[in-house]
């Protein structure tokens, strides 16, 4: 037994004599300290990729290339063309808390993505890492290796200007961590998400990500001004569907600037994965910001649907704390309410400005429903004419044009007489089963042509007593009359509520609700806001509130359950969404019952009046649950269905 072991045994014995456990206080070895720190910073290969790519961005790189093998377990590398490092800087870079990003030692004024000086030593503590670097204009490159926390001397190496970091056998020094990693595909997906988020924030930088067999990400530097280049990068990452249906956001309040793009409500998803939020160029995941997006869309989406957004918040460094967590994905705002209000207000303003517009994906989905066979992977079948000619969907452009010319009407025979003159062809010639006939001849020809110039066109028919068919200059529009009128009534009711306020109903016996003290404080602090929504409450001691009035629209209401929901949402999101949603649900129900029902037959004037009201009413492109109220089909798309294009 060594002397140190005897001392420990003696200390344990003395502790046993007093009945208290005795432990020896000692410093942990540096290798173990680095491994513990690595558990916080580097939880999976994607975290290592994120830290290294952030370092490359801070180094001024214009192109960043990432390679991963076996999901990053066996090998990953990040190469950039940034400022590079000298041999002395290489040796210092792999030491803990060594950084060039805090020149004034000020944790408030942080202008870079990294600043903690933990990434390289943490990665080196759990892997075999090689760092190679060369200054631009220098003839000498240097390389340094770290194996399980042991730093080897720097040596000359062949290296292009910039820095290249190779990581092999990640987590070999901490085998327990390997057991919790997922499949290679899952780990690469996490790395892809991390790179995409950084790429959206920095559209002027090119990014690539490759695995053993293919190039997963290939993003060239976007050109143009910030708004133009940002939209190009968002289209490359989020898809062209988003860029085609995105609304620009630009607002500023008290030094806080908000910019970016949000999707139309009819372009939505089943989860919030496509909600990207950035603070001073840093991708973050913040409950307050996600709650603000939810609040902005609460009128237009069901609770289980989520909007697509990419929002960028820029504010002075002293108004935000990014030193909250080693992963640097969480932030704290000094004026959280200001930031949240700016997001909600700017998004609602953009949605209102969109008017009746619905996403182009609605028409795409409708056309897809016509093309039988695409869903199961079989070849789509085009319409087969009476003479056996079947146009191919894959005709060369020249042949397609010739085919259209061949099938064009002869001069003087632009249409069959019975199609233009139902009366000349006998009963029912101009109508379809279930259609309420609307004869365009009842409207002056000039007037009908002028109506077609409107965005939603001129009403031509009502099908099955539910759908209004309108003709525009470039296609047709099909309107769900009940869903459209429901939105119109709902918007009118909201305007009336905003003008006259929410009617209150006084409780015969005020109800006392017992809550946690912190919940009481949250509710009483927002008492004025709740009063505007018709809920009048007061503090009733440290652990209870008394409710004297409730919104009359709610009728019979579980006051205790409502108060608990409000307190929970104030704690999580900073806004009383529960009460607003209940009021909106009642308004939506009333609007549903008070709107034009499906099956009611409308005349031409009523149908055109509905179309004009939709064009003049904000948000009329979707019902209260985010479903479209109309589908617009372009003439070119219709011609494709019949093999004419």
Q: Which residues contact 585 (CB under 8 A, 6 or more apart)?
A: none
7-20, pLDDT tens digit by residue?
545 555 555 555 66
Mean pLDDT of the chain: 77
Element at 545 (helix H, strand E)? strand 544-551
445-462, pLDDT tens digit by residue?
556 667 888 888 888 888
- Position with higher pLDDT, 165 vs 406: 165
Query: Residue 23 corresponds to which tokens in the numbers above?
Result: 């432990």
In this structure, what DSSP letter does residue 71 have? G
Question: How much is the average pLDDT of 263-271?
Answer: 85
In this structure, what DSSP letter does residue 358 have? -
Q: Tell if the pTM clears 0.75, that is, is over it.
A: no
Please state, in angstroms and rounded to a whole number, the distance separating the CA atoms of residues 87 and 78. 19
What pLDDT sits at residue 416? 36
546-603, pLDDT tens digit by residue?
999 887 766 777 888 878 877 877 776 665 555 565 666 556 655 665 566 666 788 8
82-107, pLDDT tens digit by residue?
999 999 989 888 887 777 766 666 66
Q: List the strands of the sheet with 536-539, edge to edge.
A: 504-514, 544-551, 536-539
Element at 605 (helix H, strand E)? helix 604-616
The answer on pLDDT for 271 being more than 80 is yes
What pLDDT sits at residue 641? 75
Query: Residue 89 corresponds to which tokens in the numbers above?
Result: 């800087």
Domains and their CATH numbers in the chain? 31-218 (3.30.565.10), 222-353 (3.30.230.10), 438-636 (3.30.1370.100)
């Amino acid at each position: 037994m060594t002397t140190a072991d005897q001392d420990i045994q003696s200390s344990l014995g003395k502790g046993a004599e007093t009945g208290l456990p005795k432990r020896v206080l000692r410093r942990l070895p540096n290798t173990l300290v680095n491994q513990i720190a690595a558990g916080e910073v580097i939880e999976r290969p994607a975290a290592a990729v994120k830290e290294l790519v952030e370092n490359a961005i801070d180094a001024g790189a214009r192109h960043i290339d990432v390679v991963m093998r076996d999901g990053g377990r066996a090998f990953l590398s990040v190469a950039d063309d940034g400022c590079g490092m000298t041999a002395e800087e290489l040796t210092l870079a792999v030491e803990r808390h060594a950084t060039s990003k805090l020149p004034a030692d000020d944790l408030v004024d942080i202008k870079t993505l990294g600043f903690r000086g933990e990434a390289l030593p943490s990665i080196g503590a759990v892997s075999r890492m090689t760092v190679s670097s060369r200054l631009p204009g220098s003839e000498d490159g240097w390389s340094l290796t770290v194996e399980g926390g042991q730093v080897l001397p720097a040596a000359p190496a062949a290296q292009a200007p910039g820095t290249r970091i190779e990581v092999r056998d990640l987590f070999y020094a901490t085998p327990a961590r390997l057991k919790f990693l997922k499949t290679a595909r899952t780990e690469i997906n996490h790395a892809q998400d991390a790179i995409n988020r950084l790429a959206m924030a920095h559209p002027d930088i090119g990014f690539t990500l490759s695995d053993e067999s293919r190039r997963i990400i290939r993003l060239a530097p976007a050109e143009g001004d910030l708004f133009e280049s940002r939209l190009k990068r968002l289209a490359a990452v989020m898809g062209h569907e988003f860029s085609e249906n995105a609304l620009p956001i630009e607002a500023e309040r008290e030094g806080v600037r908000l910019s970016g793009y949000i999707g139309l409500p009819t372009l939505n998803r089943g989860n919030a994965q496509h909600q990207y939020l950035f603070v001073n160029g840093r991708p973050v995941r913040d409950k307050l910001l996600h709650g603000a997006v939810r609040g902005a869309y609460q009128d237009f989406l069901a609770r289980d649907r989520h909007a697509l957004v990419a929002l960028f918040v820029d504010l002075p460094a002293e108004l935000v704390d990014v030193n909250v967590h080693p992963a640097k994905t969480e932030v704290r705002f000094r004026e959280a309410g200001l930031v949240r209000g700016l997001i909600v207000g700017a998004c609602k303003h953009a949605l209102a400005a969109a008017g009746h517009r619905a996403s182009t994906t609605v028409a795409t989905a409708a056309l897809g429903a016509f093309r039988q066979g695409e869903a199961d992977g079989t070849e789509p079948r085009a319409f087969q004419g009476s003479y056996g000619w079947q146009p191919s969907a894959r005709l060369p452009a020249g042949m397609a044009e010739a085919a259209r010319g061949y099938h064009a009407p002869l001069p003087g025979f632009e249409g069959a007489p019975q199609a233009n003159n139902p009366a000349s062809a006998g009963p029912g010639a101009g109508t379809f089963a279930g259609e309420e006939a609307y004869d365009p001849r009842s409207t002056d020809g000039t007037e009908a042509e002028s109506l077609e110039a409107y965005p939603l066109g001129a009403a031509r028919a009502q099908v099955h007593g539910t759908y209004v068919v309108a003709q525009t200059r470039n296609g047709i529009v099909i309107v769900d009359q009940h869903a459209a009128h429901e939105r119109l009534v709902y918007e009118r009711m909201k305007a009336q509520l905003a003008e006259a306020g929410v009617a209150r109903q006084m409780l015969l016996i005020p109800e006392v609700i017992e809550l946690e003290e912190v919940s009481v404080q949250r509710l009483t602090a927002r008492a004025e806001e709740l009063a505007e929504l018709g809920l009048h409450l007061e503090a009733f001691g440290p652990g209870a509130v008394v409710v004297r009035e409730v919104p009359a629209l709610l009728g019979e209401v579980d006051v205790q359950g409502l108060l608990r929901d409000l307190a929970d949402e104030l704690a999580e999101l900073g806004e009383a969404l529960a009460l607003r949603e209940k009021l909106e649900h009642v308004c939506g129900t009333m609007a549903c019952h008070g709107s034009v029902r499906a099956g009611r037959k409308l005349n031409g004037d009523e149908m055109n009046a509905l179309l004009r009201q939709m064009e003049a009413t904000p948000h009329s492109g979707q019902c209260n649950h985010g479903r479209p109220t109309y589908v617009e089909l372009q003439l070119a798309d219709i011609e494709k269905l019949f093999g004419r294009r």
